[in-house]
Structure 1
Amino acid sequence: MSFLREKQSRHFFFSLIALSILLLGFGGLFCVKQTQTVKEMLLLHDSATVSSLLESGVSPDVIASAVASSQDSGQGKSLLTKLGYTEKTAARFLPSVYRFESTTFRSVIFGILIFISILFTLCFVFYAKREQLYHQASKIILAFSEGNFTTHLPRSDEGTLYQLFAYVDNLASALQAKGEAEYKAKEFLKNTISDISHQLKTPLAALNMYNEIILEEPDNPETIIEFSRKTTTALDRMEQLIQSLLKITRLDAGSVTFEKMPHRISEIVAKAIENLTTRASCEEKQIIVKGQQDEKITCDLQWTSEAIGNIIKNALDHTDTGGHICISWERSLAMVRISIADDGVGIAPEEIHHIFKRFYRSSNSKDTQGVGLGLSLAKSIVEGQGGVISVQSTLNFGTTFTLSFLTEM
């Protein structure tokens, strides 16, 4: 009986019940009326018969006995047969019966016509509304097939039909999500290919130029050594670019499984700066580490140290000679925060919202060899482990990056 949960079907069903009850009521009244008519006909016939017998001189007692009698001796039937009154006699030869038959036939036909009219009206209204609903649904489903998901199938009622509409709507939502994901994937692929081709164009052009110079001066050892070093630098930059892109692509695709375990923050930071201290010394910059040695966070050691290392590289790129990069951490009730602060050139307010974009290079960057993927990669690593990365900066006064990780309760 689930179809009764739908309002239209429920109204149609109860209308049929009401019509059936109405038909039974009118049928009962019709039977009562016909019984009354038959009674009147019999009384009229008996009255006419009695009057005729009285006029013929028949005794009233005999007439009364005849009227009250219900037995048939066979003589009466024989007489009526001689007069032409039998079961086969046509009703038109019996005026009273003919009038009764005509009246009954007209009443029955009229009642049937009214019943059929009401029934057809109910069916027409029900199926007209259904047809309108089906037409509306077919237009929406056609729009779904054309990629237009702005409208939804009706869900204003209950019942099997609307349950079907809900399932189709859910399917359309899944198709929309899938289409959007495919579109984003295509856009990402297109932008990535465009960025890669743009980023590789410069080092490839430099490599071609260095190779031509070396070929033109094969007898000049100094030239060969100089441009061989430049070739190595260009190749290193290309390798760095490709490795960073591969890592970001793996993170975006969700193919990286972080091996999260408790690690001391001091260990993570030490791993992050082990390849940067030499550069800092050469550039006369100081890396300062402050924090409790036994403080721990749950993370992937390799990936987290790379994220912190990328932020420190960025700080070195934007810090002048004699500058300081301070790495510190602290624990609150709900989380652990790791801060990387520098006293460099800072970030302009109009650029701070773009620094995590891929291949974005700040106008204040002093690194001419960077590929602009370090901060983007750091953000993907931190957020991939459930952390949050934020930045605060004041132009000409420095920048502070904060990595926040929830503590285990």
Structure 2
Amino acid sequence: MNRLQWFVLLVSFLALFSAIVLAWHTFYRQKKLMKKLNDMLDSAAAGSFSETMFDESMLSAVETRMANYLSASLLSERSLAGERDKIKMLIADISHQTKTPIANILLYAELLSEQQLPEESMDSLEVLKGQAGKLAFLVDALVKISRLESGVLVLSPRKQPVQLLLEQVLEQAIPKAAAKQISVHFDRTESAACYDLKWTAEALYNLLDNAIKYTAPEGEIHLAVKTYELFLRIDVSDNGIGISEEEQPRIFARFYRSPAVSETEGVGIGLYLSRQIITGQGGYIRVQSTPHAGSIFSVYLPLEK
């Protein structure tokens, strides 16, 4: 082997060695960078991330931008936590400041109704009682909605029998249905789903209460349960006034009331609150309806968390 061949071989070896060193150095830097970014994300997830004195000449652009982003996110989270605390205090104040006066109005209205009053005064008193009751319901519903939307109220779903939910809802609804001579039909079920009993009962009761409200005397309401692979469905069906197709997407909006039911008692919060409760647990609500032929509201509850 002559000198030229030795020289070419040496240059090739040095080039290969340099390539290996460069590749190893690049891999080491990338590994170190990924570890540092991973540590940043871990500390941010644990809530212990703090911005230190970064030397941008030592840090890559990615590390610097990640550090700035996490710092901004931490400040935003602290700001949101502060706003949530303020909302929590405001809700508590509203609840405290309004419940007592409303309760007093209702109390004195009841006391007045026991007195010997002129007939025209009794009519006015009944209106007063009705409006005070509506105001009490409205304030209570607004407080519940605010708690749900601000995250102050936390839903706690767990796997439990659905029959327990149905019994609690029917206990409240059947007397009201009986007063209108409306028949409520339901079958017992052995199925279970994942839900928060207290709040899901309120959501389902709102649907059943609407069915009673918008079904004519001597009408019928049916409750049915069906289990699928991932969800359990509860149907509340009636033969009431129904809902037009163009209105169906709007009925779950806050304070929305159809012109067709403007004369019926209500404030347009029940369906909105029901949807917030059900979606907050990983479920959803659907509606099928035909004007003058009734409605079916379907609640889907997850089978597992």
Both proteins in one fold, TM over 0.5: yes
CA-to-partner distance for each residue in 1:10-57, whole Å, 9 max, x for gaps?
xxxxxxxxxxxxxxxxxxxxxxxxxxxxxxxxxxxxxxxxxxxxxxxx
How far apart are 1:176 and its partner, in Å?
Answer: 8.5
Percent pairwise identity: 27
- Aligned partner of 1:221 in structure 2 is 118
- Aligned partner of 1:282 in structure 2 is 179
Aligned residues: 228
1:263-302 to structure 2, matched below 5 A, reads: 263-292=160-189, 294-302=190-198
2:159·2:303 contact (CA, 8 Å) conserved in 1?
A: no
Mapped pair 1:332 → 2:232: no
Question: Aligned with 1:242: secondary structure?
Answer: helix
Q: Distance in 2 between matches of 1:332 and 1:267?
A: 19
Q: Distance in 2 between matches of 1:343 and 1:318?
A: 9
Shift in alpha-carbon separation, 1:223–1:349, aligned structure 2, 3 A:
same
Question: Aligned with 1:402: secondary structure?
Answer: strand
CA-to-partner distance for each residue in 1:267-318, whole Å, 9 max, x for gaps?
21121122222221222222111342x2222322211111110001111222
Mapped pair 1:236 → 2:136: no
How far apart are 1:389 and its partner, in Å?
Answer: 1.4
Q: Distance in 1 between matches of 2:117 and 2:144?
A: 41
1:317·1:365 contact (CA, 8 Å) conserved in 2?
A: no
Shift in alpha-carbon separation, 1:404–1:222, aligned structure 2, 3 A:
same
How far apart are 1:397 and its partner, in Å?
Answer: 1.8
How far apart are 1:233 and its partner, in Å?
Answer: 0.9
Q: Distance in 2 between matches of 1:219 and 1:318?
A: 35
How far apart are 1:220 and its partner, in Å?
Answer: 5.0
Mapped pair 1:347 → 2:243: yes
Question: Aligned with 1:340: secondary structure?
Answer: strand
- Aligned partner of 2:278 in structure 1 is 382
Q: Distance in 2 between matches of 1:366 and 1:286?
A: 25
Q: Distance in 1 between matches of 2:246 and 2:78?
A: 34
Shift in alpha-carbon separation, 1:258–1:178, aligned structure 2, 3 A:
closer
Unaligned 5+ residue runs, structure 1? 6-158, 190-195
Letter matched to residue 290 of structure 1: D
- Aligned partner of 1:127 in structure 2 is none
2:192·2:303 contact (CA, 8 Å) conserved in 1?
A: no
Question: Aligned with 1:377: secondary structure?
Answer: helix
- Aligned partner of 2:7 in structure 1 is none
Q: Distance in 2 between matches of 1:375 and 1:172?
A: 37
How far apart are 1:169 and its partner, in Å?
Answer: 5.3
| Greater relative contact order structure (CA < 8 Å, 6+ sep) | 2
1:334·1:407 contact (CA, 8 Å) conserved in 2?
A: yes
Calculate the aligned-residue CA RMSD, in Å.
Answer: 3.6
2:200·2:277 contact (CA, 8 Å) conserved in 1?
A: yes
Shift in alpha-carbon separation, 1:280–1:366, aligned structure 2, 3 A:
farther
Letter matched to residue 230 of structure 2: A
How far apart are 1:359 and its partner, in Å?
Answer: 0.9
TM-score (norm 2): 0.63
Shift in alpha-carbon separation, 1:395–1:375, aligned structure 2, 3 A:
same
Structure 1 consecutive aligned stretches of length 4 or more whose deviation exceeds 4 Å: 169-179
How far apart are 1:408 and its partner, in Å?
Answer: 3.1
Mapped pair 1:164 → 2:64: yes
Q: Distance in 2 between matches of 1:222 and 1:243?
A: 32
Letter matched to residue 163 of structure 1: E
1:326·1:341 contact (CA, 8 Å) conserved in 2?
A: yes
Mapped pair 1:253 → 2:150: yes
